[in-house]
Amino acid sequence: MRSRYRISSLALLLALLVTSALRADIVVIANRAAKPVRFTVAAQGGKPHELRLAPLDLVPVRIDGPLIVNYPPGDKGEQYEILPNSAYFFADTPDNKKVELHEIGLRRRPAELADSKIADMPAQPVVITVKILVDDDQPLHREIWEKDLRQRIADCSKILEQHCFARLEVVAVETWETNDAVNDFDLALNEFESKVDPAPARIAIGFTSQFQPVQGRTNLGGVRGPFCRHALLREWNKRVAPAERLELLVHELGHFFGAAHSPENNTVMRPLLADKQANSVKFQIAYDPLNTLAMNLITSELGRHEVRSLRQLDLRTRQLLAAVYWEIDKALPKDDAASRLLAMVGPVAEEPKPAPPPYVPAARRVLASITKYAERNAQLPETATDGAQRLVGDELADAYYRQAAAAATKLSPANAAKGCLIGLAVALDRTEQVRGNPLAAAALSSIETADERRHRLEVIGNPTLHGREDLLLHFTISAGLSMALSPELAESAGVLKELKDAQGGSGFSFADLSADLAGVEFARQLTEHPERLGEFAKTLKLSDYAPAIDGLPEGLDTSRFVTEFGSPADARYQAVKTDILARIKALPGHATAVPKAE
């Protein structure tokens, strides 16, 4: 079979213009002139590279910033600055005396795109794994049909890699049984989807040889849409030439990568393929510029994270896709492929930033009050025979808690307790346990800026609980996470940290766990009785709420922890936890707690 596509050095341009990583920015340049064109491309300030495009050829270029095109090459050429995420084409002037570069306008492209939240991608093609299947009506021996289909997938892969930096990789070859009574293509696709598991591949491509007598137009193949798990193509019509079968596969895989039907009559994405164009030696099985742009926008994200629907794409990507699909839909109004894709993209207006939780301003005020107290304390002398001296250790921790409670009494009752304990958790955390907690990070990130944190760490000193900094940290963070998340999640976070420490850190510590549980119980009490903030502001001592750690095992590596305590569900572990909870309940702070109202 004669190859109906051109694979040239143009595909290497991706590596020429970006060296270490690929971004989502893409430019597509096509040649619609009657003769080949030579031109140079260069990133701003970069080395120009000369390219040649034959008629109807195109090249996608991934860049970071504007691209400078010089046509024709040399000092006498005209320079064009073309913008990222756009499509351009060379075309003859009406008098055929010269060739000019034109932009394919995207009238719905926003003047200001959303900021991309997607990280850079390694400079390598996106690999889509494929399972090939034939049905029980396939008349050829396996060695014949498997060789043919593997070659067809490989030919399709070369076209995809040139156009959108994606590659197909066959990882499995199987068969499936079809129901001979099913003649409708949609029902046949449903049957294929229900009977075939694509695993271990990303997509299962079925080639059915079941004869289905039809009249008029019929579907020769189909997929459900972008990122689908199944594709089905008909093989029974002996009058379909090999080039046409390849074109059908390339067309359906185009839909997988987000391509729509195109109004251009020389693209593989034209709505009707049964026109025998693919059999011409002059015809190139290729995508049109706008669909090439759309497919590159999508594959630039497929290489970064798992995507199952267009709405999972970055907002910036969806804004650009919406502009592309809108242009195609207006140019091909009687075909609904682009309009359906546009609906799948969903709303593309700039998404408002989520409002911070209502306790955030309260926590900021508590944090500011603690920081000011720390500044004053840091300025005091370490020892003094007359007058105040700098607080340290347990006394400093008690002072911070009283200061936080005093600040919280001036807040609205609805947010006072949460503001107090969350502000303390941020203030006394000299690690990244609060800021690094994936569940709490979004809620707590707006409480303190990086500069504010640096200053706080300079003045906060060395507060402790029972003479240990780690116990204070566990108590305070667990209390804060109880307020920001829930008591159950706060306790789970503490247990998970200890289990992680057992894997090579400081070891599992039931002493630390006791502080975690005490912090959770302290938060529960303050939630039920926020009126105690006034009392806490005057007389609070943390030792009244955190038990002594005498006899609690510490420094347990994983092997020893499993040997002695099994797991958190083990009765031996639960016995220690019960002892800790009894110690907490016996403390003076809980003994004098206000009874809960009936």
Per-residue pLDDT tens, the chain, 598 aa: give them: 344 444 444 444 544 454 444 455 889 999 999 999 999 998 877 888 889 999 999 999 887 778 899 999 888 889 998 888 999 999 999 999 999 999 999 999 998 888 877 665 555 689 999 999 999 989 999 999 999 999 999 999 999 999 999 999 999 999 999 888 777 788 888 889 989 999 999 999 999 998 665 555 567 889 999 999 999 999 877 778 899 999 999 999 999 999 999 999 999 999 988 788 888 888 889 999 999 999 999 998 887 778 889 999 999 999 999 999 999 999 999 999 999 999 999 988 865 666 777 888 899 999 999 999 999 999 999 888 888 899 999 999 999 999 999 999 999 888 999 999 999 999 998 876 555 555 555 556 678 888 888 999 999 999 999 999 999 999 999 999 899 888 998 898 888 888 878 877 789 999 999 999 999 999 999 999 999 999 999 999 999 999 999 999 999 988 898 899 988 888 999 999 999 999 999 999 887 655 444 4
The last residue of one of the domains, among 103, 133, 153, is 103
Does residue 384 share a domain with residue 332? no
Does residue 492 share a domain with residue 549? yes
Does residue 167 share a domain with residue 91? no
DSSP label of 296: H
> Which structural domain, as residue segments, surrounds residue 299?
121-345
Contact between 259 and 269 under an 8 Å Cβ cutoff? The reply is: yes
Does residue 480 share a domain with residue 409? yes
Residue 115 lies in a domain: no
Amino acid type, 173: V
Secondary structure in 3-state letters for 547-562: CCCCCCCCCECHHHHH
- Separation CA 333–CA 349 (nearest Å): 24
Does residue 460 share a domain with residue 376? yes
The last residue of one of the domains, among 284, 313, 345, is 345
Does residue 423 share a domain with residue 314? no
Residue 3 lies in a domain: no
Does residue 520 share a domain with residue 546? yes
Q: How many CB atoms sit inside 10 A of residue 433's CB?
A: 20
- 3-class SS at 334? coil
- Name the residue among 144, 150, 157, 156 with its Cα closest to residue 131: 150
Q: Quote the tokens at residue 362.
A: 């309260």
Structural domains in the chain (count) = 3
